[in-house]
Structure 1
């Protein structure tokens, strides 16, 4: 079982789950922490749901560090893990993460089975959510809320900290998700199974 086999199974499952849903976008290799870390698959709709994939050929060596980062950003997280890693993974990830078990035999396609339901993240960090934005997106949101004065020439880190400080968490989450849904130029945006949102011009154009 290879990583690409698990990825194909996950994308196919998500495509079926969200078929016809114009409010959902599925993105591969979505950057977090200002793009320095990437989650395998993200589903963006009324929540931000990250999917981390661990095939039978993978190890769980990086999972503790990945979990610590994902825990600050995603409303929900699901670990898609080969059955051989499942018991060990349960001791690494938090209780609110969901689990899908991946299995395959005799060169057959990977089969996914529910292992544990996910729950809402209790520890979201506003500044890390704001760091999901590109600079133009962050500035556009600041401008839309009358917060851009004195910040138009600032670096993106200053913009994200201002967003995190000035916007209530729920509003920040809404604005970030909406920006991500209409973003063009995602690294993994050529996936054939990806659910597509209509692409519009800048969400909050900077005047």
Structure 2
């Protein structure tokens, strides 16, 4: 029986082999759900839901709706128990990876490649960024600072003024550069208006 913890590390290797340059962010809150894995590539952000052999489909409908709002592409990684029925449980644009235990190894099979998510909400995707990351995107695109405005206002202005093709790469760049160890200092500097 494959558990979530058995799948994660070998899955990261599988994804790196497939996509080459990636950044993995685990357990990211999005909407009312938590993404098991967020995978960043040079111009896209992928949501990855793991359904191990120990999982059920109880929350999957809600999770699919949240993943579809936030990510360019989505995958579900299904353990052997779910492999036969998973195609019925996720939209046709979701990619499907099956995980199978072979001896002491986990073997992955790409059942279906993901296609561009038609339900992506750009405003929600940009909520994945921290305020200092949004400020850097404003700076890169010579936008006003909007220091006294809300995060939602800033997101709307960026979406309105920056072409999506440019923004896709800039969002990925910010997520690649994110430093969880330095975030407290970064936010403190941002709030004190030093950056």
Equivalences for 1:40-79 in 2 at 5 Å?
A: 40-79=37-76
Who is 2:143 aligned against?
147
Report the counterpart of residue 111 of structure 2 in structure 1.
115
Aligned structure 1 segments of 4 or more residues deviating by more than 4 angstroms: none
Q: Return 5+ residue gaps in structure 2 as ranges.
A: 182-189
User: Which consecutive residues of structure 1, in runs of 5 or more, have no partner in the other structure?
Assistant: 187-201
| Worse overlay, 119-128 or 162-171 | 162-171
RMSD of aligned C-alpha atoms? 2.7
TM-score where L is the length of structure 2: 0.80
Relative contact order, higher structure (CA 8 A, sep 6+) = 1
**Structure 1 residue 105, shift from structure 2 partner:** 5.6
Change (3 A) 1:182 1:148: same
Counterpart contact for 1:139–1:148, Cα < 8 Å: no
User: What corresponds to 1:199 in structure 2?
Assistant: none
The TM-score, its normalising length taken from structure 1, stands at: 0.76
Q: Which has the higher helix share?
A: 2
> Which residue in 1 is equivalent to 2:130?
134
Task: State the partner residue of 1:178.
Answer: 173
d(CA) in 2 for partners of 1:36, 1:112: 25
Deviation at 1:126, TM superposition (A): 1.3
Q: What's the counterpart of residue 159 of structure 1?
A: 154
Structure-2 separation of matches of 1:26 and 1:140: 21
Equivalent residues of 1:133, 1:180 under 8 A apart: yes
2:27 matches 1:32: no
1:110 aligns to what SS in structure 2? strand
The alignment covers a number of residue pairs equal to 184
Measure the CA separation in 1 of the matches of 2:41 and 2:27. 13
TM-superposition CA deviations, 1:69-127 (whole Å, max 9, x none): 11122222111101322343322211011111112266x22221121122122232110
Shift of residue 145, structure 1, vs aligned partner = 2.1
